[in-house]
Structure 1
Amino acid sequence: MAALPELIKENPPEQTYTKHDQLYKELISTFFKEFLIAFFPEVHEHLDFQAIKPISEEVYTNLIEGETRRLDIVAETKLKNTDIIVIVHIEPQSYVQTNFHERMFHYFSLPYNKYRKPIIPIAIFSYEGNLGKG
């Protein structure tokens, strides 16, 4: 019996971190309606996609702290068969951040303070591990 050839393995590259936020942002922006159908069908069924208006990368300034914030995906639309305008805010998160809940609340309040419209906040966690612990 012939000996099996030795397998040649490449040395694995150093572990590098890929930020998935931008990838998710592009994917969700391109397939916004399909994303909501797949993951949030109860939200999708109430939105009028004929009235959708992307307002992504909206920059908000915190007048108290003097900081600028850029929200990832923000879209304005109406509820079906009404004139009620709602804002959908999607925030991809690719790394553990112990105070993410505070950041998401702060990000939620920025478009609300500007538009005074109902906000539908959605966070997308793409990192491995226990999402409940930072």
Structure 2
Amino acid sequence: MTQQSSENTDYDNPWKTFIELYFREFLAFFFPTIEADVDWSKPVRFLDKELQKIVRDAEIPKRYADKLVEVHRLRGERTLVICHIEVQSQEERDFVARMYSYNYRLRDRYNCPVVSLAILGDDRPNWRPSRFYDELWGCATHFEFPIVKLSDYQSQWTELEAIQNPFAVVAMAHLKTKETHNQPLERKRWRYHLTTMLYDRGYSEQDILELHNFLDWLMNLPEELERQLQAELETFEEARRMKYVSSLERRAKLEEKQAIALNMLRRNLDMELIAEVTGLTIAEIQILQSQQQQD
């Protein structure tokens, strides 16, 4: 993958790709009440081309990593979910108007409920646009939508490190990418930390690969630092593999000793002799004896 400079971070596309891969986890992490009301036994459809047409028809500049997703509620009705990922560093005056425009155009087009969601990835703590209101001569429009402010997670770092949902890692990566703007050495340090952390969170091999790709894409580094990081990660993975092999070898030796001890117990040999031959403690041999009697 061609690396970008840290001054030209691509926030949109990594989010967009990862939401499509882990849409249920996305809702479970950021909007759990919505996730609980979706019927996941029915197919989920991504309708990004339809959303692009709405944006094009409305002549709205494409500045968000938007996803349009068709789901079904547990009670059966079809619902459209629009996920707006707003990652710009400055406030957008017309953001709520755009959210409203997307919503009513999609509702008119598909004639079904449309839910708009916004993830705000900027670093302006007081910018929390969640309400569009317009009124003239007694005719009023009032539109509200749920938002998540990623900067709020900064004070919940310990909790994020303990959460299994992959979007906890995504949130941490986003925060550290913003924080290390124009600080490539610090970004490299955090990317190494987040990448190596993946191996201890119980993820599947595929999940680790996808998160690794997300971190690689989002937390981009200059070419020389990227080479250094990859070398460090290779060393880490090799050491981890050797540790895993060593653990397997220790387990195999223990099982061999236990098999010998069980055979000697069946011959009613003295426990001290068994301990001397196998290297097991008397307590370990007593546990084996108890298990043997239960069998």
TM range (shorter): 0.7 to 0.9
Runs of 4+ in 1 over 3 A off after TM superposition: 68-71
| Matching residue's letter, 1:78 | H
1:91 to 65, 84, 104: 84
Instruction: From the superposition, tell whether residues 128 and 53 of structure 1 become closer, same or farther in structure 2 (CA, over 3 Å).
Output: same
Higher RCO (CA 8 Å, separation ≥ 6 residues): 1
* Aligned residue in 1 for 2:48: 56
| Residue pairs, 1:86-125, within 5 angstroms | 86-95=79-88, 96=90, 97-125=92-120
* Aligned residue in 2 for 1:36: 27
SS of equivalent to 1:48? coil
Which of these two proteins has the greater Rg computed from alpha carbons?
Answer: 2
* Number of matched pairs: 117
Mark the runs of 5 or more structure 2 residues left unpaired by the alignment: 130-295
* Aligned residue in 2 for 1:74: 68
| Matching residue's letter, 2:11 | H
Do the aligned residues in 2 keep the contact of 1:57 with 1:72 (CA within 8 Å)? Answer: no
- Tell me the C-alpha RMSD between the 2 structures: 2.5
Q: Kindly indicate which of the two structures has a greater share of residues assigned to helix.
A: 2
**1:3-52 deviation line (CA, Å, top 9, x unaligned):** xxxxxxxxxxx872424122211111111000111111100010012322
| Matching residue's letter, 2:93 | T
SS of equivalent to 2:93? coil
**1:78-131 deviation line (CA, Å, top 9, x unaligned):** 111x33110011011111312111111111122111101111111111111234
Alignment TM-score, normalising by the size of structure 1: 0.74
Query: Residues of 2 paired with 1:29 and 1:40: CA distance?
Result: 16
Mark the runs of 5 or more structure 1 residues left unpaired by the alignment: 1-13
| Matching residue's letter, 1:24 | W
* Aligned residue in 1 for 2:11: 20
Query: Residues of 2 paired with 1:73 and 1:133: CA distance?
Result: 20
| Matching residue's letter, 1:55 | L
Query: Residues of 2 paired with 1:69 and 1:119: CA distance?
Result: 21
Query: Residues of 1 paired with 2:8 and 2:108: CA distance?
Result: 35
Do the aligned residues in 2 keep the contact of 1:28 with 1:35 (CA within 8 Å)? Answer: yes
SS of equivalent to 2:70? strand
1:132 to 112, 127, 132: 127
Query: Residues of 1 paired with 2:61 and 2:72: CA distance?
Result: 25
Instruction: From the superposition, tell whether residues 100 and 73 of structure 1 become closer, same or farther in structure 2 (CA, over 3 Å).
Output: same
SS of equivalent to 1:50? coil
Instruction: From the superposition, tell whether residues 69 and 48 of structure 1 become closer, same or farther in structure 2 (CA, over 3 Å).
Output: farther
